[in-house]
């Protein structure tokens, strides 16, 4: 299996975060999780990020050439989220049996990194390409009567503030 083109981080980014937990510091077919499972974890977290981007009205996935800084943040968040999933595979006792929860701070840090990025997306504090522009409400169709030239009530309005855009009759009827 290979990492999906919609994912942000590479397997080496994930290995850098959890290399101390892997024999030889790299994922292989013999590690737990395996290389294929780790790649799937990266894809799963990237899918969560891309879904959040789409819901917030951004273009997904973020493209390095168009938005280098948000892309770098996405790489970091993707790696952090995948690291949380990888560390969930290991029993905490495998590191230090004398410490009841030796990984809580580390896992919490990775989880917080992903959560902070997802909150930036939700709050639209990410400077990345938008799939819809913030232009307000559009009137669809002619706004003046052709015969009299007087302003007429539009039949439909389109609100671009809602994703993917709400279309409603202006007179409130269905």
Alpha carbon 172 to its chain's center: 35
The model carries a pTM of 0.69
Strand ranges across the sheet with 137-140: 137-140, 156-159, 166-169
Q: 7-37 pLDDT, tens per residue? A: 999 999 999 999 988 888 999 999 989 999 9
**Residue 111, C-beta contacts closer than 8 angstroms, at least 6 positions apart:** 80, 81, 84
Average pLDDT over residues 139-163: 64
CA triplet 91, 92, 96: central angle to 5 degrees? 125
> 118 with 159, same domain?
no
Q: Which domain holds residue 22?
A: 11-122
> 157 with 90, same domain?
no
> 37 with 118, same domain?
yes
* In-domain check, residue 130: no
Q: What is the pLDDT of residue 44?
A: 97
Residue 43 phi, psi dihedral angles, 5° rounding: -60, -40
* In-domain check, residue 89: yes
Work out how many domains the chain is built from and give that number.
Answer: 2
> 141 with 118, same domain?
no
Q: 83-111 pLDDT, tens per residue? A: 999 998 876 645 554 555 545 678 888 99
Q: Where does the pLDDT of residue 142 fall: very low under 50, low under 70, confident under 90, or very high at 90 and above?
A: low
> 148 with 79, same domain?
no
- Residues 42 and 11 sit within 8 Å (Cβ to Cβ): yes
* In-domain check, residue 3: no
* In-domain check, residue 128: no
């Amino acid at each position: 299996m290979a990492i999906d083109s919609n994912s942000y981080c590479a397997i080496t980014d994930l290995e850098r975060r959890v290399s101390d937990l892997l024999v030889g510091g790299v994922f292989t077919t013999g590690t737990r999780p395996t290389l294929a499972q780790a790649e799937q974890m990266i894809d799963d977290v990237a899918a969560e990020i891309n879904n959040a981007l789409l819901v917030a009205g951004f273009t997904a996935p973020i493209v390095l050439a168009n938005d280098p800084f948000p892309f770098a943040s996405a790489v970091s968040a993707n790696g952090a989220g995948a690291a949380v999933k990888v560390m969930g595979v290991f029993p905490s006792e495998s590191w230090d049996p004398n410490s009841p929860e030796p990984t809580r701070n580390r896992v919490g840090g990775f989880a917080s990194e992903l959560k902070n990025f997802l909150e930036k997306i939700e709050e639209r504090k990410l400077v990345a390409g938008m799939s819809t522009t913030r232009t307000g409400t559009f009137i669809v169709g002619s706004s003046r009567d052709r015969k009299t030239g007087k302003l007429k009530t539009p039949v439909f309005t389109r609100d671009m503030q809602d994703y993917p855009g709400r279309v409603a009759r202006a007179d409130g009827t269905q």
